[in-house]
Amino acid sequence: MTLRSFEDRVFVLAVLLPIALLVAALIYVPAVDTLRTSLTNRNLRQPNRPIEFVGLSNYQRLLTGNEMWQVTERSLTVVALTLPLELALGLGVALLLNERFPGRGIVRTLVILPWMLPPVVNGFLWGWLLNGEYGALNGLLYQFGLIDQYRFWLRDPASQLTWVAIVQTWTRFAFPMIILLAGLQSIPVDLYDAAEVDGAGWLARFRFITFPFLLPSFAIALIVEFIASFQIFDVIWTLTAGGQTGGAINPGTKTLMLYNYELVFRDLRIAVGSALSYLIMLMSLAVGLFFVVRLYNQGTKR
């Protein structure tokens, strides 16, 4: 090993070691501690009770309980409503912004504004828009004669998850749009020119060129947005769950993360909440691996 090579390795180690220690301190150490806690009977409402190792009892209790599967069903409902809307809107805007037109840079900046705002802000903003007494949506529809009286949009339990999906789509669609736009700009223009010479129309070019080349981008967008929708908290909390201190959690929109919040911060059942955190992580990881294997790998083989 030359002196220069040794100095380079020492420099790389000196740069990476503090970062690795910081990541370990902020992520891996708490994760290991959470796993250890999930295997105990820790409950902050019973501080004098000895902390004992209970193995997988907390996981078994969650998986055999009805509430766990009810909130999982609601989380999957939000995902099923949100993902198609996000991807369709993101793809449509990406196709539009991939074209050249005056003011394209300004439009690109405006499109990502909802994503730049914190989800809590978007939740409160839409809560004001949908307010049944003074909401802007009611005022707009009333002015155009589409309704004859103000409606309480968020009062009906059957439509609450739909509104959550709409707000989540508004908040997050810019991310898949950016990923898909980057994928569109990486497609060789020569392929489109050759297809056009062969007489392929817009739909054929999209089907046989654009969509196959976008599969890796779709996989990345699906993974990230599935996790964001599956683990949604901010939008639901501010929009329908009663985000005020001590407020009751809306049972109609109690998803996995709301249930986890209730276990840890309301009931102080730290061990059960830690077990639920790992179950959420494992479910997200399983879906993420599925998208990688089925879409990303398929797209990169081209």
The pLDDT, as a whole number, for residue 83 is 93
Whether 158 and 77 have beta carbons less than 8 Å apart is answered as: no
Q: Which CATH architecture has domain 63-122+157-300?
A: Orthogonal Bundle (1.10)
Q: What are phi and psi of 239, to 5 degrees?
A: -90, -45
Best CA proximity match to 165, nearest among 42, 82, 84, 237 = 82
Q: Which helix (H) or strand (E) holds 8?
A: helix 3-23
Task: Give bridge partners of residue 40 from the DSSP assignment.
Answer: 53
Domain regions of the chain by residue span: 63-122+157-300
Task: Residue 65: count other Cβ atoms within 10 Å of its Cβ.
Answer: 11
Give the max Cα distance, the chain. Answer: 83
- Indicate the Cα dihedral angle 125, 230, 83, 221, nearest 10°: 100
pTM across the whole model: 0.86
Q: What is the DSSP letter of 249?
A: P
- CA dihedral for 266, 268, 272, 278, sign (positive or negative): positive
Per-residue pLDDT of the chain (302 residues), as tens digits, is 555 576 777 777 888 888 888 888 888 888 899 999 999 999 988 888 888 999 899 999 999 989 999 999 999 999 999 999 999 999 999 999 988 888 888 888 888 988 888 888 888 889 889 888 888 888 888 888 888 888 888 888 888 899 999 999 999 999 999 999 999 998 888 888 888 887 778 888 888 888 888 888 888 898 899 999 999 998 998 888 754 445 678 888 899 999 999 999 888 999 999 999 999 999 998 888 887 777 655 555 55
First to last CA, the chain: 40
Q: Which residues contact residue 269 at a Cβ distance below 8 angstroms, ignoring those fewer than 6 apart?
A: 43, 45, 263
